Structure 1
């Protein structure tokens, strides 16, 4: 099923976890509608600007898949509102900076990016209305011998 001119539902439902654990990762009508809006408002403009495929690494997550990966109970992925992606050959920081200046979204997160390593990390974006236009940067840190993810405001490379 086509969600928009350049995106198909299958790109958002593929999941190694779902395949490995034989979990259903089929979105319902509300989630499909949210995915269409995400494509229309955010991902299509990104695709058009860079004129390259937007490679979705994580899109929709059914409740079972979300539990299996220990995702947040409030994850926008489980609502069809979010996607993690990269564009081959384009620095993820650069993508986020372009999006920040030109698009509306709910959240834009530069995840696990390392300065000087253009292909590091990925871009997380969500869309819902009303949107917040919230920007964050996620980094891994070690505290008390445990790896944790910390979020700081803004897009920081």
Structure 2
């Protein structure tokens, strides 16, 4: 598959929005996706299309999609982050409701994901690699200034 530098990955998600990063722009990091990453981004966007349909076809705003290694380091991402493989997206859907409401809706659905994380002001959805079984792991992130992010299983009541 040739590398797609512009255009759509799926009906509602583009390569530009899945690779855009203010941090990359600010630091001069090339966050282009190679063909292998683009194949993963297509899978991620296909899952986001399912999420969009689940949420009543409301617009989803991507906060973070693919992050090359340099960008992932710059934002303090995990070295094993699914973002680094084009297999994750952080997003919001204000037309549907809060990130917590979105997580609850996705967790109750049959959408196949590896990780679904309520990150407070956004939702993280990550996919398993093509050869792995999705865990459907649902987590809540906890942020503390100056400390590493911690995660607890499930969503708050």
What band does the TM-score fall into relative to the shorter chain? 0.7 to 0.9
1:57 and 1:107, CA in 2 relative to 1: closer, same or farther beyond 3 A? same
Structure 2 CA distance for aligned equivalents of residues 122 and 101 of structure 1 = 18
* Aligned residue in 2 for 1:126: 126
* Aligned residue in 2 for 1:46: 51
* Aligned residue in 2 for 1:93: 100
Segments of structure 1 that go 5 or more residues without pairing to the other structure are 114-120
- How many residues are paired up? 145
Structure 1 CA distance for aligned equivalents of residues 134 and 142 of structure 2 = 24
How many angstroms does 1:70 deviate by?
Answer: 2.2
Which structure has more relative contact order (CA 8 Å, sep 6+)? It is: 1
Segments of structure 2 that go 5 or more residues without pairing to the other structure are 1-6
Structure 2 CA distance for aligned equivalents of residues 67 and 148 of structure 1 = 14
**Structure 1 segment 67-146 matched on structure 2, within 5 A:** 67-89=73-95, 90-102=97-109, 103-111=111-119, 113=120, 121-128=121-128, 129=130, 130-141=133-144, 146=146
More strand by share: 1
User: TM-score normalized by structure 2?
Assistant: 0.86
Does residue 5 in structure 1 map to residue 2 in structure 2?
A: no
Q: 2:38 aligns with which of 32, 36, 46?
A: 32
How many angstroms does 1:147 deviate by?
Answer: 3.9
